[in-house]
């Protein structure tokens, strides 16, 4: 059969799928015998078998089409470009392929990967769902979808996809690894730890898995086990900087001279990536800080911060502009016009402010109360702010009472998976929610809001020494940190003026000086009775995910006060950026 006759037969089979699928199948099978390497023909066979209810045959054809299309020269070039992270090369190749063959599932999946790489998760999700619509048994696409859902904090949906993967491909280590990460997100650490242990029993040569296992152990308070596991990972790859930083980030580990020598040697490794280098710099900064060598420590902190600052797109003017817009919008008349609107549920307790300001300590204290459940740093308020159509925050002014209430209910629905204890109140401890204080008030007017505040120099320098996994773009330059702190204080001072008493402020140093008085005042502000367990918070065995996880398992102490002093002569840019806020602390301008 010549090419023209094949094309005509292909068109005829495609036309007959809905009219006479059995006849279409006979024609398509004849074409397949003539063109066994055609991905288009295999896709057509899959489509026909689906119409006939032949699921097994359809699956075979659909997956066969993917294998064949992956050999297409354009897709091979695009795949190589993705491996090399040359997205500008991969994108036009994939677009051209999809224009020529819009049902090419391999190309759709690769385009989804490209979208995910640039943070367009919704686009990536849509493409993956289209791929699975065309080839439901395409396991790699389903695994990608579970990952994308996890990245969007849509945990229940991610777990549902992982359940489907486990049914189709049980015992897959990659899928089990993702499941462990998802379970950690919702607090199922026991199951996550079991998964990591079982995976590593079969694949002990995976240093990043040892690291993830260590993170889970640290979170549940098994510090010695976590340290041992982290060091197992370093035995596999001593230049994996993130494990060195994970040990440093426990805050209780003191590196010895041999550790310092190993880290310095790792820094000299040929071809060391910037990611490993910056983590090693932060870890060495901690090691040398503990050893009292402030000059050398600062050099490594500065080097690590400079590397990360060069990688991110952060503009401090954006934060200042958002604060200006919040202040302009949230005026007394605007608030008065919306009094009594929003969702009236009193469940949430927001702890916000600067990172490294004592919010984890406050959360640990409150989570020991019989009426309060501790969760984690929940992403739901930023998610809802992003849902506001138009320009946020200005377009909050056009939302009516029903829309504000719906946003509040959306918040409660979205956080429900994190709540497991059935207590009347739960904590949302995302520090950066300070920028959304007014938004929280509009959609959840009965929620409680706590502002955790710490001395500017201690707080800001602690941020400079802390490498955050994500989301704190301001923290990699002393001047950026100072401006961020100043903007935060400026907005919260405005909130105090237009909504007096709406926010309860906890001054970190005052909490350290007189914990009982401050804890009683905190509970009173929340309308909760005093409970002794809140004073004995360090005895709690609850999981803690943040960098302060080990510190809050100790009685209150002043170890973190004044840690900026050995570096005083290096903090000029920070002082300049803070301006009058530094001298006025704890008051605001």
CA distance 484 to 451: 15
CA distances from 109 to 98, 129, 433, 557 (A): 11, 9, 35, 52
Give residue-wise pLDDT tens across range 164-187.
Answer: 999 998 888 889 999 998 898 877
Residue 550 confidence (pLDDT): 47
Please determine, for residue 37, whether its predicted confidence score (pLDDT) is greater than 70. Answer: yes
Given CATH 1.10.287, say whether it is the number of domain 3-69: no
Residue 303 confidence (pLDDT): 97
Residue 281 confidence (pLDDT): 98
Read off the tokens for 365: 């204290």
Closest to 504 (Cα-Cα) out of 518, 516, 517, 490: 518
Backbone phi and psi for residue 526, each to the nearest 5 degrees, phi listed first: -90, -5
260, HSE (Cβ side, Cα atoms, 13 Å): 16
Closest to 138 (Cα-Cα) out of 106, 94, 184: 106
Q: What is the CA radius of gyration of the chain?
A: 28
DSSP-derived letter for residue 97 is H
Category of 271 on φ-ψ map: left (φ > 0), alpha (ψ -120 to 50) or beta: left
**Residue 77: alpha-carbon gap to chain centroid:** 31
Give residue-wise pLDDT tens across range 129-167.
Answer: 999 999 999 999 999 999 999 988 888 899 999 999 999
Residue 43 confidence (pLDDT): 82
Residue 547 confidence (pLDDT): 45
Please determine, for residue 417, whether its predicted confidence score (pLDDT) is greater than 90. Answer: no
Under a CB-based contact definition with an 8 Å cutoff, are residues 24 and 17 in contact? yes
Residue, of 23 and 520, whose pLDDT is higher:
520
Could you state, in order of their start, the residue ranges of all structural domains in the chain? 3-69, 316-584
CA distance 50 to 30: 18
* Average pLDDT estimate for 335-359: 96
Give residue-wise pLDDT tens across range 477-534.
Answer: 999 999 999 999 999 999 999 999 999 999 999 999 999 999 999 999 999 999 999 9
Confidence of residue 540 (pLDDT cuts 50, 70, 90): low
Confidence of residue 554 (pLDDT cuts 50, 70, 90): low
Residue 2 confidence (pLDDT): 63
Residue 52 confidence (pLDDT): 83
CA distance 574 to 368: 36
Write the CB contacts of 58 (distance below 8 Å, at least 6 apart in sequence). 45, 46, 47, 49, 50
CA distance 140 to 109: 9
Q: What percent of the chain has pLDDT over 90?
A: 72
Residue 548 confidence (pLDDT): 46
Strand, helix or coil for residue 31: helix
DSSP-derived letter for residue 397 is G
- Cα-Cα-Cα-Cα torsion 77, 81, 83, 85, nearest 10 degrees, comes to -170
Confidence of residue 552 (pLDDT cuts 50, 70, 90): very low
CA distance 409 to 415: 10
Under a CB-based contact definition with an 8 Å cutoff, are residues 522 and 362 in contact? yes
Please determine, for residue 440, whether its predicted confidence score (pLDDT) is greater than 90. Answer: yes
When the pLDDT of each residue in the chain is averaged and rounded to a whole number, the result is: 91
Under a CB-based contact definition with an 8 Å cutoff, are residues 504 and 495 in contact? no
Under a CB-based contact definition with an 8 Å cutoff, are residues 106 and 86 in contact? no
Please determine, for residue 544, whether its predicted confidence score (pLDDT) is greater than 60. Answer: no
Residue 455 confidence (pLDDT): 97
Residue 375 confidence (pLDDT): 87
CA distances from 470 to 187, 352, 388 (A): 19, 17, 23
Supply the angle between the helices 73-83 and 105-117 in degrees, to the nearest 10: 20
Give residue-wise pLDDT tens across range 265-274.
Answer: 999 999 999 9
Which H or E run includes 120?
Answer: none
CA distance 16 to 26: 11
What global pTM score does this model have? 0.79
Please determine, for residue 453, whether its predicted confidence score (pLDDT) is greater than 50. Answer: yes
Under a CB-based contact definition with an 8 Å cutoff, are residues 10 and 43 in contact? no
Strand, helix or coil for residue 269: coil
Lowest mean pLDDT among 30-39, 215-224, 403-412: 30-39
Backbone phi and psi for residue 512, each to the nearest 5 degrees, phi listed first: -70, -40
CA distances from 155 to 44, 180, 181 (A): 35, 12, 10
Backbone phi and psi for residue 503, each to the nearest 5 degrees, phi listed first: -115, 130
Q: What is the DSSP string of 406-469?
A: HHHHHHHHHHGGG--S--SEEEE--GGGGGGHHHHHHH-TTSEEEEEE--HHHHHHHHHH---S
Confidence of residue 587 (pLDDT cuts 50, 70, 90): confident
Strand, helix or coil for residue 506: strand
Under a CB-based contact definition with an 8 Å cutoff, are residues 582 and 456 in contact? yes
Residue 450 confidence (pLDDT): 98
Torsion over CA: 409, 411, 416, 420 (sign) = negative
- The neighbouring-strand residues paired with 506 are 452
Residue 467 confidence (pLDDT): 93
Please determine, for residue 464, whether its predicted confidence score (pLDDT) is greater than 70. Answer: yes
Residue, of 465 and 43, whose pLDDT is higher:
465
CA distance 476 to 201: 38
CA distance 397 to 384: 15
Which numeric CATH code is attached to 316-584?
A: 3.40.50.300
């Amino acid at each position: 059969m010549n090419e023209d006759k094949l094309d005509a037969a292909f068109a005829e089979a495609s036309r007959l799928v809905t009219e006479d699928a059995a006849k279409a199948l006979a024609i398509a099978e004849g074409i397949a015998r003539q063109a066994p390497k055609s991905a288009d023909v295999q896709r057509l066979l899959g489509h026909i078998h689906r119409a006939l209810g032949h699921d097994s045959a359809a699956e075979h054809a659909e997956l066969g089409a993917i294998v064949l299309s992956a050999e297409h020269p354009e897709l091979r070039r695009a795949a190589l470009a993705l491996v090399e992270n040359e997205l500008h090369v991969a994108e036009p190749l994939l677009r051209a392929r999809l224009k020529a063959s819009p049902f090419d599932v391999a190309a759709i999946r690769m385009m989804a990967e490209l979208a995910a790489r640039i943070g367009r998760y919704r686009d990536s999700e849509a493409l993956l769902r289209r791929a699975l619509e065309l080839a439901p048994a395409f396991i790699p696409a389903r695994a990608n979808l579970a990952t994308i859902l996890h990245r969007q904090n849509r945990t229940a949906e991610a777990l549902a996809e992982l359940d489907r993967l486990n049914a189709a491909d049980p015992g897959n280590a990659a899928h089990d690894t993702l499941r462990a990460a998802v379970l950690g997100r919702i607090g199922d650490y026991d199951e996550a730890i079991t998964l990591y242990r079982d995976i590593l029993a079969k694949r002990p040569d995976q240093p990043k898995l040892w690291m993830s296992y260590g993170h889970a152990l640290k979170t549940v308070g098994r510090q010695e086990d976590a340290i041992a596991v982290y060091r197992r990972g370093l035995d596999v790859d001593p230049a994996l900087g993130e494990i060195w930083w994970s040990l440093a980030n426990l805050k209780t580990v003191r590196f010895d001279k041999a550790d310092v020598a190993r880290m310095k040697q790792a820094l000299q490794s040929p071809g060391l990536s910037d990611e490993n280098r910056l983590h090693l710099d932060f870890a060495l900064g901690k090691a040398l800080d503990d050893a009292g060598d402030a000059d050398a420590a600062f050099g490594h902190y500065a080097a690590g911060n400079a590397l990360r600052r060069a990688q991110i797109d952060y503009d401090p003017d954006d934060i200042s502009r958002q604060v200006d817009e919040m202040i302009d919008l949230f005026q007394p008349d605007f608030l008065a016009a919306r009094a009594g609107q929003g969702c009236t549920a009193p469940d949430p307790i927001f702890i916000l402010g600067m990172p490294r300001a004592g919010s984890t300590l406050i959360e640990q204290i409150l989570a020991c109360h019989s009426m309060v459940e501790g969760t984690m740093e929940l992403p739901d308020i930023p998610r809802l702010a992003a849902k506001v159509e138009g320009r946020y925050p200005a377009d909050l002014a056009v939302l009516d009472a029903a829309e504000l209430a719906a946003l509040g209910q959306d918040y409660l629905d979205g956080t429900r998976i994190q709540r497991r204890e059935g207590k009347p109140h739960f904590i949302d401890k995302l520090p950066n929610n300070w920028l959304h204080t007014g938004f929280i008030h509009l959609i959840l007017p009965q929620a409680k809001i706590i502002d955790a505040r710490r001395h500017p120099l201690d707080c800001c320098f602690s941020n400079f020494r802390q490498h955050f996994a994500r989301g704190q773009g301001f923290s990699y330059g002393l001047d950026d940190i100072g401006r961020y702190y100043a903007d935060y204080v400026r907005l919260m001072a405005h909130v105090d003026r237009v909504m007096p008493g709406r926010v309860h402020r906890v001054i970190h140093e005052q909490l350290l000086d007189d914990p009982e008085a401050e804890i009683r005042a905190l509970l009173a502000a929340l309308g909760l009775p005093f409970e002794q367990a809140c004073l004995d918070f360090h005895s709690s065995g609850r999981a803690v995910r943040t960098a302060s996880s080990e510190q809050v398992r100790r009685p209150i102490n002043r170890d973190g006060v004044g840690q900026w002093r050995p570096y005083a002569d290096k903090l000029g840019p920070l002082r300049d950026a803070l301006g009058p806020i530094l001298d006025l602390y704890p008051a605001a301008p």
